[in-house]
A and B are shown apart, each in its own frame.
Chain A
Amino acid sequence: MKSISRHAPAAGGVAWLTWGALLLLVLAAPAPRLSAQTTVDAPESPLFTTFNPPAFDFNDAFYTANGINVTQLDTPGAARFGFFRQTGPPAPPGFVNWVVDNTGTDPDRKNVRILATTGGYIDDGTGAPTQFISILAFLLDQTFFTGVANARGVQMADIVNNFEAYAALRQVDSHGVFAPTPCGTMGDGTTPCFPVTSVATPALRQDWRFATNRNAIDGSAPFGYFCDDILGMWIITYFWYVDTGFGPHQTAQCHQMLAALGGKNGLTLDGSPIIKTADELNFLEGSVVGSNPIPGFLGTNPPSPPCTAEGKEDMGGADHGAVWLICPALPDPRNGAITLDAFLDQVHRPNGLPLDPAFTANFLCLQIFGAFCSELTPAQRQSISQQVAVTR
């Protein structure tokens, strides 16, 4: 890991925790406000050693060397951080998603530091809320790839095809109508259908899942995410509940399974169960996954007809949504990778509370103490718990 020299924390803001004067000092450095925006150095916590760099955008030469068409990347459709989306979701009103920061030393990055930090479940079977990424840009079709292979002779499109980011779009509209199929090429052409043109957080029914664990060593993919997918790109896999799963024609089998899964994982904004792992999704799609991943459900065979489905958008851009994302996961979000001015981008309930407070807790633990909550002392954990309780 490269170390990044940083200056003193920027002043001003809202204190989040009440855990002594030291903690207050740390917490006095939240996301930069819009009015103060010029260049902002990453504020550093005095509570832990900082050696992991925060997220910066890649520079154009690095994108080009890895087969990405920078001209396309700099268009409004791609909405690349550094050019677009400085304000607006996911940043709260008055705050920004990225800042110019000249302290970075990585020769492959530019001086745009990302504050919007999106949480996601890890795809290793545990469904732990430990993944944090920065959504730098959206790729809408294959014109975003130059077709030029990288230094190892591999097309980026071939690499990224192995790394899936699982997006759960809202299926219940503002009138409470459930749409069992996506609009566009992934759907069956029936209505109502749910739109697939945006994966912005307000369009999600639950938080993301990221397959950061895939690698060539265990054979889960020909490539490793952190060693081969060096732009941190993903192909988006959309997954949804079908009519027989959550709609008017829900089968008794799906009803039973969803009730069990909802009891285990909680419910999405639509009222359907949160899906955290590949086995849960694959099983509900009707795949044999070895053992039933849904506790409490009697039986080992997957449902037929299925309860869920998945798909990927048309690579020619026919669906007008994001096919791929450039959003590198933080290899190690501890010890400085999540700066004091970063903020968590996660799914919130209509009342503003987080859908899954576990993300909130981990984010705060990393931000304040530089470690996951499970690694903290009891006193540290208690302080975070108090803060998370405030957000509930």
Chain B
Amino acid sequence: MPSSREERVSRRKFVKLAAAAAAAGPLLRFPGGAFAEQSRRKTLRIAKWAHFLPEYDRWFAGVLAKQWGERHDTEVIVDHIPVEEVGARAAAEAAAHHGHDLFMFPWPPAEYRQHVIDHTEIYQAVSFGHGNVDRLGHKSTFDPGTKRYFAFADSWMPAPLCYFEDWWAEVGMPLGPLHYGSLRSGGQRLRAKLGIPCGLALAPSLESNVTLHTLLMAFHAGVLDEQGNVVINTGARTVAALKYVKALYEDAGSPEQLGWGPGGNVQAMLARKSSCTINAISLLRAAEAADPAVAKKIRICPPLAGSAGVMAVPHVTSCSVVWKFAENPAGAKQFLTELIDSSKAIYEQSQGCNFPIYQKTVPDLIVRLENDPHGDPPYKYKELKDALHWTANLGFPGFANPVAMEAFNTFVVPRMFLRVVKGEASPEDAARAAAAEVTRIAEKWKQA
């Protein structure tokens, strides 16, 4: 039996214990008494990319996640990560093997496949209620090498062309430019006549990544082929696309484009400082909220036609992963499974920005697009009716694999274009350098 002297705690030891307890904070569990109920309550930590419409994130955390937590006796903590910080935060968590239970990306997180669970069981669970995942979701989250799903896709955002109808009508194109040739020729006349430049995003950002991958695709070029071979500098199409963008910039662009940060193209459109851009319809929603008169003049149309036809990559492919090191993997999987039940609410709360991966969850999507409550005219958004047809996954024509996604997240394509536009490299040299960079990435993943 210990003596009373031994039971006594020295002052120095007490201070140490108190400090440790304070540092541990909420991780401590206290048995018995008033804390018993709290101890049984689980926690689900979610990192979610910050939506372009802040009100959506407020609803996601304050209503959707909260109500799910109440149903499952779980405290759900949602951290909203700015899109430009998503990559760094995810990499840090993967490196530390510690962090959130669930990480929601705005693109397919193929680089993290060794850090995440196989999400097949989530797709299977969802299929009982909503059918199979569609082509876009499948090709964005499936690894054909391991036959596993490295992520779970719940929604996506189309990337149409947004343009000011009144200005394009001034150059005889009230329906918008519709193909890349007219984007340049009309944009040139428009800038000369009205002084308004064409506002495609060029500086490295999500917007430029989407814009320039879309453009490459339309020019019959791409980073990888279907088998995953590096083809960005095979043939002459990438060089043709580079020459086109340089000419577009010189004929119809503006120096401000080169300095835009995230959302710079959106801000320029909202300020009526550019005539068109490629973006999700969050741009229009922001305009509708801020200045309905400006919003009325912005129209959308399907992606511009190129030699490969009418194609685009999604502005966002919302893909979630449950980390292998998640402390509450069961809760994370359950949350994702039930997330699809809320697809309709997600579509509505995102004001039509987030299209469902599971089509049946919003069966009247086309009717809604034809008669939008905020659109002026209300049928403005019907241009998105066939968005799933003209949208291809990142990594097209193959799957979203680690090479394609690392190239995406390190802005290989925007940097290649920017070098040419700035005159720092010839189109041929820039394409060659980009190919070398992607090849290095591919070699790294071969050894991984």
Residue in A149, A222, A301, A310 with the greatest tally of chain B CB atoms within 10 Å:
A222
Determine the chain B residues whose CB is within 8 A of the CB of A154 once the complex forms.
Answer: 382, 385-386
The secondary-structure label for the interface of chain A is loop
Chain B residue at minimum C-beta to C-beta distance from A184: B185
A370: min CB distance to chain B, Å? 34
Determine the chain B residues whose CB is within 8 A of the CB of A313 once the complex forms.
Answer: 181
How far is B303's CA from A23's CA once the two chains are assembled, in angstroms? 52
How far is B221's CA from A161's CA once the two chains are assembled, in angstroms? 20
- Stretch of A27-35, A45-53, A89-97, A314-322 lying at the B interface: A314-322
- Residue contacts A-B, CB under 8 angstroms, 12 given: A155-B301, A161-B310, A221-B389, A222-B389, A235-B305, A282-B307, A282-B308, A302-B236, A304-B239, A309-B240, A311-B181, A312-B179
Determine the chain B residues whose CB is within 8 A of the CB of A303 once the complex forms.
Answer: 235-236
In the complex where A155-B175, A222-B310 touch, is A287 in contact with B186 (Cβ < 8 A)? no
Chain A residue at minimum C-beta to C-beta distance from B390: A222
Asked if B385 and A157 make an inter-chain contact with CB atoms under 8 angstroms apart, the answer reads no
Cβ < 8 Å to B, chain A residues 187-242: 216, 219-223, 235, 237
Asked if B186 and A314 make an inter-chain contact with CB atoms under 8 angstroms apart, the answer reads yes
Determine the chain B residues whose CB is within 8 A of the CB of A317 once the complex forms.
Answer: 172
**Can you list, as one digit per residue, whether each of A152-187 has a CB less than 8 Å from chain B (1) or not (0)?**
011101100110000000000000000000000110
- In order of increasing CB-CB distance, the 4 nearest A-B pairs are A286-B236, A316-B172, A222-B389, A185-B185
Asked if A318 and B189 make an inter-chain contact with CB atoms under 8 angstroms apart, the answer reads yes
Tell me which of A161, A287, A301 contacts B179 (CB under 8 A). A161
Contact of B370 with A by CB under 8 A: yes
Asked if A316 and B307 make an inter-chain contact with CB atoms under 8 angstroms apart, the answer reads no
Other than A222-B389, A301-B235, A315-B177, give 15 A-B pairs with Cβ distance below 8 A: A149-B382, A154-B382, A158-B383, A222-B302, A222-B386, A222-B390, A237-B307, A285-B236, A287-B235, A287-B237, A288-B237, A306-B237, A312-B181, A313-B181, A316-B186
Contact of B114 with A by CB under 8 A: no
In the complex where A154-B385, A157-B178, A221-B389 touch, is A302 in contact with B185 (Cβ < 8 A)? no
Asked if B186 and A161 make an inter-chain contact with CB atoms under 8 angstroms apart, the answer reads no
Asked if A288 and B231 make an inter-chain contact with CB atoms under 8 angstroms apart, the answer reads yes
Determine the chain A residues whose CB is within 8 A of the CB of B307 once the complex forms.
Answer: 237, 282, 285, 287, 310
Tell me which of B181, B220, B309, B383 contacts A285 (CB under 8 A). B220
Contact of A44 with B by CB under 8 A: no
How far is B302's CA from A222's CA once the two chains are assembled, in angstroms? 10
Asked if A288 and B234 make an inter-chain contact with CB atoms under 8 angstroms apart, the answer reads yes
Asked if B173 and A142 make an inter-chain contact with CB atoms under 8 angstroms apart, the answer reads yes
**Can you list, as one digit per residue, whether each of B124-160 has a CB less than 8 Å from chain A (1) or not (0)?**
0000000000000000000000000000000000000
Asked if B236 and A223 make an inter-chain contact with CB atoms under 8 angstroms apart, the answer reads no
Asked if B185 and A318 make an inter-chain contact with CB atoms under 8 angstroms apart, the answer reads yes
Contact of B225 with A by CB under 8 A: yes
A183: min CB distance to chain B, Å? 13
Contact of A147 with B by CB under 8 A: yes
In the complex where A221-B309, A303-B236, A304-B239 touch, is A142 in contact with B390 (Cβ < 8 A)? no
**Can you list, as one digit per residue, whether each of B18-42 has a CB less than 8 Å from chain A (1) or not (0)?**
0000000000000000000000000
Contact of A145 with B by CB under 8 A: yes
Contact of A77 with B by CB under 8 A: no
Asked if A143 and B172 make an inter-chain contact with CB atoms under 8 angstroms apart, the answer reads yes
In the complex where A285-B307, A315-B182 touch, is A304 in contact with B235 (Cβ < 8 A)? yes
**Can you list, as one digit per residue, whether each of B156-199 has a CB less than 8 Å from chain A (1) or not (0)?**
00000000000000011111011101101110010000000000
How far is B244's CA from A186's CA once the two chains are assembled, in angstroms? 11
Determine the chain A residues whose CB is within 8 A of the CB of B234 once the complex forms.
Answer: 288, 301-302, 304
Tell me which of A157, A221, A305 contacts B175 (CB under 8 A). A157
A48: min CB distance to chain B, Å? 38
Contact of B56 with A by CB under 8 A: no
Cβ < 8 Å to B, chain A residues 308-340: 309-318
How far is B219's CA from A285's CA once the two chains are assembled, in angstroms? 10
Determine the chain B residues whose CB is within 8 A of the CB of A41 once the complex forms.
Answer: none
Contact of B379 with A by CB under 8 A: yes
In the complex where A155-B383, A306-B240 touch, is A185 in contact with B184 (Cβ < 8 A)? yes
Cβ < 8 Å to B, chain A residues 257-308: 282, 285-288, 301-306
Asked if A316 and B185 make an inter-chain contact with CB atoms under 8 angstroms apart, the answer reads yes
A239: min CB distance to chain B, Å? 9
In the complex where A158-B383, A314-B186 touch, is A153 in contact with B231 (Cβ < 8 A)? no
B251: min CB distance to chain A, Å? 10
Determine the chain A residues whose CB is within 8 A of the CB of B309 once the complex forms.
Answer: 162, 220-221
How far is B3's CA from A78's CA once the two chains are assembled, in angstroms? 108
Asked if B175 and A145 make an inter-chain contact with CB atoms under 8 angstroms apart, the answer reads yes
Determine the chain B residues whose CB is within 8 A of the CB of A235 once the complex forms.
Answer: 179, 305
Asked if B175 and A286 make an inter-chain contact with CB atoms under 8 angstroms apart, the answer reads no
Cβ < 8 Å to A, chain B residues 371-385: 379, 382-383, 385
Determine the chain B residues whose CB is within 8 A of the CB of A306 once the complex forms.
Answer: 235-237, 240
Contact of A57 with B by CB under 8 A: no
In the complex where A153-B382, A154-B382, A302-B234 touch, is A316 in contact with B310 (Cβ < 8 A)? no
Determine the chain A residues whose CB is within 8 A of the CB of B189 once the complex forms.
Answer: 316, 318
How far is B225's CA from A8's CA once the two chains are assembled, in angstroms? 59
Determine the chain B residues whose CB is within 8 A of the CB of A158 once the complex forms.
Answer: 301-302, 383, 386
How far is B323's CA from A322's CA once the two chains are assembled, in angstroms? 56
B338: min CB distance to chain A, Å? 31
How far is B173's CA from A220's CA once the two chains are assembled, in angstroms? 26
Determine the chain B residues whose CB is within 8 A of the CB of A318 once the complex forms.
Answer: 172, 185, 189
Chain A residue at minimum C-beta to C-beta distance from B170: A316
Tell me which of B220, B231, B379, B389 contacts A282 (CB under 8 A). B220
Determine the chain B residues whose CB is within 8 A of the CB of A220 once the complex forms.
Answer: 309
Chain A residue at minimum C-beta to C-beta distance from B179: A312
How far is B309's CA from A389's CA once the two chains are assembled, in angstroms? 39
Residue in A153, A287, A301 with the greatest tally of chain B CB atoms within 10 Å:
A287
B240: min CB distance to chain A, Å? 7
How far is B370's CA from A284's CA once the two chains are assembled, in angstroms? 41
How far is B183's CA from A186's CA once the two chains are assembled, in angstroms? 12
Chain B residue at minimum C-beta to C-beta distance from A145: B175
Determine the chain B residues whose CB is within 8 A of the CB of A221 once the complex forms.
Answer: 309-310, 389
